[in-house]
Chain A
Amino acid sequence: MYQYDVIDRELVNARTAEFREQVSARLSGALSEDEFKPLRLMNGVYLQLHAYMLRVAIPYGVLSSNQLRMLAQVAREYDKGYGHFTTRQNIQYNWPALVDIPAILDALASVEMHAIQTSGNTIRNTTTDPFAGAAADEIADPRPWCELIRQWSTQHPEFTWLPRKFKIAVTGSPADRAAIGVHDIGLKLVPGDKGIMGFEVHVGGGQGRTPRIAAKIRDYLPARELLAYLTAILRVYNLAGRRDNLYKARIKILVEDMGPEAFAAAVEETYEAIRGRDLAVPAEEIERVASFFTPPAPGRALENAPTDPAFARWRRVNVKPHKVPGRAVVVIALKAYGQAPGDASAAQMDLIADLAERYGEAEIRVTKEQNLVLPHMDEAALPALFEALKEAGLATANAGRASDIVACPGLDYCNLANARSIPIAQQISMGLEAAGLDEAAGEVTVKISGCINACGHHHVAEIGLLGVDKKGEEVYQLTLGGVADGEAAIGKILGPGLSADDAVRAVIACVRVFADHGANEERFSQTLARIGTDPFKEAVYGA
């Protein structure tokens, strides 16, 4: 993975020193809260219901064992012994004190980590395929480009005060495990003719209040022109994005208002005016960054696999094929039945760091499904890995299954929430376990958001729940048919809102309908298209 050079280190150190000074200025009153708030957001510091929340960047979801150990250390020393992995491949701590955050940032900087631009009206963490560099269906590894975008977007002097937050996702595979269809900018690596790698560019996707699928504005952009083109898109948005209404300020609204053709034309005009040698990525730099992302050496094949049915099941569900012989991709689902989705204790983080180091090239990934991945596992070590994970409650064989629920922090933590999501997820997962539905239904995505901001990505879930406030009561809307990866689609509301208990029952019932009616190999959307919503309505609302 990428290693900082002296310039990267100096920039992060300068930033932590700057924030230390800004915290002092707030504590002394030299900065008002109104002035301090955007500055602290730019350093990932939110104020939540109970406490500050610190969102640490995990650039494009890639972590080393040493970095994961530091995240565990921060959880132990400055928080309540756990962290939460997020739907944008970052990690959140729910209980840091503001006065401790400069020290936390110093500790993170010592392992080449930071919390820069994980919040605020800035360009956020660029996300990608958690199987990047390992998946056989990849056209090219997206991670070097993610690193180049990270550098270009860090403290960009022109784009630090955008109308609203800005999210970029990159996929190197046509399968698109990065959900580029619902990002402000979605980039797909495509081979050009003459074999010159390039990008297909999509703009204006997003979830939240007004979910939209992105429009494709360019079939092919030579890869070295990426930063110039991104600059053009951001400049058009910075100048023309709405600033009068918080809920109309994302680029998706601008693209819709202008129309994709007019928007694309504005971008092309700006791009032609600014492109040049200072923005083109030099070939030597592409080469240098790419050199940090090489495939692992072949591993050792697993001979004489244990006959233990639990191991077999875990291997079938959580282990994915790797393009290098003797290697495997292992999903560590942070979704034990009844646990808060995406949370890991400091001890669990340390264990995973050790296991990655021992068996998996010391590399870990974070997924937007709030799970962790060991991308380069040595196949022969799978049984040993399974045993170690099992002891720590990390071997739940439900990756991609109904109980692999994505849930935002919700009203248990978040200032913006209308309803709780984590306890709902906990109840659903225990109900699914009791009914054996994970096995019966196969792969299905369930996601829960506690408010219209949709941080739980419920819009793109096959079965989604949206928490709303109805006269002080927590009420849930059930949606069906969303798709995140590949051909993105927004889910549709099934019927009237449900109480918390009814919502739990409803989700389990919908999973059961899918288990009963889904044909072999059919994805949920295909089943839904085939049988229609009536069987689901009946299961949820009765005849």
Chain B
Amino acid sequence: MKALTANRLTDGKVVYRTSEGVWSVDPAKAEHLTEDTAEAALNAGLRDILTVVGPYLIEIETGAGFTPGGRKHVREAIRLSGPTTGSTKSMPGARHVPV
């Protein structure tokens, strides 16, 4: 199974193309594409130049839900959920009062 993803032009957020042909930050709304429908979706997405940047097809596991699969699954999982490094905001000194 495939899905079409890109980054939103205005703010760079990760978005997925829905079956209505709009782009959503919610992966649950991503259209699941087959080998047949993938290319058409990609071509359509490439025309959305005022909405997104750099659309491309990704592999997802078949079935319900949205689980990145294939060779780039780590990368797409990170795009989905964010960095795996823990928040810098939780570091000590988060509430500094100027001297």
Which A residues fall within an 8 A CB radius of B? Answer: 26-29, 32-33, 47-52, 80-82, 95-99, 336, 338-340, 343-345, 347-348, 350-351, 354-355, 358, 388, 391-394, 411-413, 417, 420, 422-423, 426, 469, 471-474
Contacts of A97 in B (CB 8 A): 10-12
Contacts of A394 in B (CB 8 A): 93
CB-based contact B10/A81 at 8 Å: no
CB-based contact B13/A50 at 8 Å: yes
B34 on the A face (CB < 8 A):
no
Q: Which 5 A-B pairs have the closest CB atoms?
A: A392-B93, A393-B92, A347-B96, A97-B11, A412-B83
CB-based contact A27/B50 at 8 Å: yes
Chain A's closest residue to B54 (CB) is A47
CB-based contact A50/B88 at 8 Å: no
Contacts of B91 in A (CB 8 A): 336, 339, 343, 345, 348, 393
A-B contact pairs, 17 of them (CB 8 A): A28-B50, A29-B49, A33-B54, A49-B78, A80-B89, A82-B89, A338-B86, A347-B93, A348-B93, A351-B98, A355-B99, A392-B92, A412-B78, A420-B78, A422-B83, A422-B85, A471-B71
A76 → chain B closest CB, angstroms = 10
State the total of A-B contacts with C-beta under 8 angstroms: 120
Cα–Cα distance between A338 and B92 once the two chains are bound (Å) = 12
B67 on the A face (CB < 8 A):
no
Q: Which of B9, B53, B79, B92 contacts A50 (CB 8 A)?
A: B79
Contacts of B98 in A (CB 8 A): 350-351, 354
Contacts of B64 in A (CB 8 A): none
With A98-B9, A392-B96, A472-B72 given, is the CB distance from A340 to B84 under 8 Å? no
With A336-B91, A411-B78 given, is the CB distance from A350 to B70 under 8 Å? no
Chain B's closest residue to A80 (CB) is B89
CB-based contact A345/B12 at 8 Å: no
Chain A's closest residue to B70 (CB) is A472
CB-based contact A81/B11 at 8 Å: no
CB-based contact A412/B84 at 8 Å: yes
A38 → chain B closest CB, angstroms = 14
